[in-house]
C-alpha cells in the first residue's frame, strides 16, 4: 500500500490518526518485505498480527502464510479492513475488534504453533511482548517492529545500559536474532522516535521448568527495582537471608553483586537454587 493510497483512504473516510493508539503506518514496500522475510513464512504458518492498521503488512502475511489472525482496537480501521479483505474472499483471515493486550490476558491460548508478526502500537509493545513471551504456550517466533530504544532492551546483555527486566523476561525463552533499523520516513506520519524490527526465536529447550517462572519474574523484578543497590539486599524483601546466602555461595556469586552484572544464565541458576534449597 503506497503512501498516496494511505492518504486517500484516510481523507475519504475522514479518519484523523490517533497518537495514543500509536498510529504510524508503514508504507515502505522494502521494509514491509524485510519484516515478512524475517518471519520465514510458509503456507503451513499461522500468524498473529497485532494492530493491522490499514493492512499493509496484513496483505503480505496473507500472501505468504496459511492463516492470519489480526487484532485491531480502532473500530474505524476494522471497518476499513473488513472491506479491504472481505471474509468470503479471505477465509484464511480472521479479524478481531479488540484491545490486543486485554484479549491476550482474557483468553490465554495455545500460541505454540503461531508466529507473531506485527508493527506494534508503541505504548503497549512491551506488555504485549511480555504477556506472550511468558505464556506457557508461547509463539515459536516473534518479529516485531517497535521503538529502537525498546529493541535495544530486547537485545541487551549484562553490563549494557539497556539491560533490565524486559531483557530478561523475554530472553528467558527467546533468542534475539537479527534486527534492522527502520527510518522514521518509512512511516506515515513519521514518528518522533527511531524504530527497529527485531526477530526473536523461541529457545529449543526452555531454561526453566514452568513452575519456576513465577519465581524468576519476581526475582528479576525485585533485583532491578533499584539498579544501584546490591541484589542480595533487595532480594531479602522476598526470601529468607540464610537461603539467599547459601544460594549465592553455592553459585560463587558475590553478595555485593548488582543485578545489571548478572547474566540470564545466572538469574536462572539463582532461581533454581532458591527452589531446590527449600
53 touching ligand SAM, by CB under 6 A:
yes
Does 21 help bind ligand SAM (rule: CB under 6 A)? yes
Q: CA–CA separation, 131 vs 159, rounded Å?
A: 25
- Widest CA span of the chain, in angstroms? 68
Name which position in 47, 48, 56, 220 contacts ligand SAM (CB under 6 A). Answer: 56
**182 sits near ligand SAM (criterion: CB under 6 A):** no
**Cβ(250)–Cβ(273) under 8 Å?**
yes
36 lies in the binding site for ligand SAM (CB under 6 A): no
Specify whether the CB–CB gap between 79 and 107 falls below 8 A: no
The CB density around residue 278, as the number of other CB atoms within 10 Å, is 8
Whether residue 154 has a cis bond before it, omega within 30° of 0: no
- Exactly one of 36, 41, 62, 72 binds ligand SAM (CB under 6 A); that residue is 72
Contact call for residue 74 and ligand SAM (CB under 6 A): yes
Nearest to 151 by CA among 188, 180, 116, 130: 180
For residues 78 and 269, which CB has a smaller minimum distance to ligand SAM in the complex? 78
By CB under 6 A, is residue 164 in contact with ligand SAM?
A: no
Backbone φ and ψ for 86, nearest 5 degrees, come out as: -60, 135
DSSP state of 135: S
Q: Which three cell numbers stand for residue 40?
A: 520465514
Query: Are the C-beta atoms of residues 46 and 66 closer than 8 Å to each other?
Result: yes
- The answer for residues whose C-beta is within 8 angstroms of residue 70's C-beta and 6 or more apart is 48, 49, 50, 52, 58, 81, 93, 94, 95, 96
Pick the closer one to ligand SAM by CB: 23 or 167.
23
- Residue where the block lists cell 524504530: 195
By CB under 6 A, tell whether 126 contacts ligand SAM. no
Compute CA 207 distance to the chain's CA centroid, rounded to the nearest angstrom.
Answer: 19
Stretch that binds ligand SAM, among 21-29, 87-95, 175-183, 270-278 (CB under 6 A): 21-29
Any idea which residue has 518522533 for its cell?
A: 192
User: Which CB sits closer to ligand SAM, 12 or 75?
Assistant: 75
When the beta carbons of 123 and 256 are compared against ligand SAM, the nearer one is 123
Q: Residue 28 or residue 243: which is nearer to ligand SAM going by CB?
A: 28
9, 10, 26, 129: which one contacts ligand SAM (CB under 6 A)? 26
Strand-pair category, 174-182 with 195-202: antiparallel
Dist CA 110 CA 229 (whole Å):
39
- Binding part of the chain for ligand SAM, among 17-25, 81-89, 136-144, 244-252 by CB under 6 A, reads 17-25
Residue with smaller CB distance to ligand SAM, 17 or 207:
17
Please report whether residue 270 would count as binding ligand SAM according to CB under 6 A.
no
Instruction: Give the nearer residue to ligand SAM in terms of CB position, either 73 or 152.
Output: 73
Task: Single out the segment in contact with ligand SAM by CB under 6 A; choices: 49-57, 59-67, 198-206, 236-244.
Answer: 49-57
Residues at the interface with ligand SAM (CB under 6 A): 21-26, 50-53, 56-57, 71-74, 77, 99-101, 119, 121, 124
Amino acid at each position: 500500500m503506497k503512501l498516496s493510497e494511505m492518504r486517500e483512504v484516510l481523507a475519504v473516510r475522514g479518519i484523523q490518526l490517533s497518537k495514543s493508539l500509536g498510529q504510524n503506518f508503514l508504507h515502505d514496500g522494502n521494509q514491509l518485505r524485510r519484516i515478512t522475510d524475517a518471519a520465514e513464512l510458509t503456507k503451513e504458518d499461522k500468524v498473529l498480527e497485532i494492530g493491522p492498521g490499514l493492512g499493509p503488512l496484513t496483505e503480505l502475511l496473507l500472501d505468504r502464510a496459511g492463516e492470519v489472525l489480526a487484532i485491531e482496537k480502532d473500530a474505524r480501521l476494522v471497518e476499513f479492513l473488513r472491506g479491504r479483505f472481505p471474509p468470503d474472499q479471505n477465509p484464511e483471515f480472521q479479524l478481531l475488534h479488540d484491545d490486543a493486550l486485554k484479549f491476550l490476558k482474557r483468553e490465554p491460548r495455545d500460541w505454540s504453533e503461531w508466529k507473531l508478526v506485527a508493527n506494534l502500537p508503541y505504548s503497549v509493545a512491551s506488555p504485549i511482548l511480555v504477556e506472550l513471551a511468558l505464556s506457557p504456550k508461547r509463539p515459536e517466533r516473534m518479529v516485531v517492529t517497535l521503538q529502537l530504544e525498546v529493541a535495544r532492551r530486547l537485545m541487551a546483555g549484562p553490563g549494557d545500559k539497556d539491560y533490565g527486566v524486559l531483557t530478561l523476561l523475554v530472553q528467558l525463552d527467546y533468542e534475539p536474532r537479527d534486527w534492522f533499523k527502520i527510518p522514521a520516513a518509512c512511516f506515515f506520519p513519521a514518528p518522533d522516535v527511531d524504530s527497529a524490527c527485531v526477530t526473536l526465536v523461541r529457545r529449543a529447550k526452555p531454561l526453566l521448568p514452568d513452575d519456576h517462572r513465577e519465581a524468576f519474574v519476581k526475582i528479576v523484578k525485585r533485583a532491578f527495582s533499584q539498579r544501584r543497590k546490591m541484589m542480595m539486599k533487595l532480594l531479602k524483601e522476598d526470601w529468607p537471608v540464610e537461603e539467599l546466602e547459601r544460594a549465592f555461595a553455592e553459585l560463587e556469586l558475590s553478595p555485593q553483586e548488582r543485578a545489571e552484572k548478572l547474566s540470564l544464565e545466572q538469574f536462572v541458576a539463582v532461581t533454581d537454587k532458591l527452589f531446590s534449597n527449600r
